[in-house]
Amino acid sequence: MSFERSFNKPVEEGKEYELDIKEVSRRGDGVARIEGLVVFVPQTKPGDHVKVKINSVGPRFATGEVVQ
């Protein structure tokens, strides 16, 4: 038996967002936050202002990539 919880997330997979990268994760990815949800963005650094496409959304964080 499987239960699927419905969480209201501030981001949606496949959508684009303007983000300010505030810090770097242990893996070296840039870290931004949208309404408290952590978003990991590879190949960015603190101070970057980037447009990001969200690739995946999990219960605790999302991942995205820079859109050119």
The string of DSSP codes covering 28-55 is S-EEEEETTEEEEETT--TT-EEEEEEE
Task: Average the pLDDT over 15-22 and give the result.
Answer: 98
For residue 11, pLDDT over 80 is answered with yes
Task: Average the pLDDT over 46-54 and give the result.
Answer: 98
Task: Specify the CATH number of the domain 8-49.
Answer: 2.40.50.140
DSSP label of 10: S
| Residue-level pLDDT at 8 | 81
| Residue-level pLDDT at 4 | 47
Task: Average the pLDDT over 5-33 and give the result.
Answer: 92
Task: Give percent above pLDDT 70 in the chain.
Answer: 90
DSSP label of 59: S
Q: Which of 18, 16, 17, 43 lies closest to 29 in space, CA to CA?
A: 43
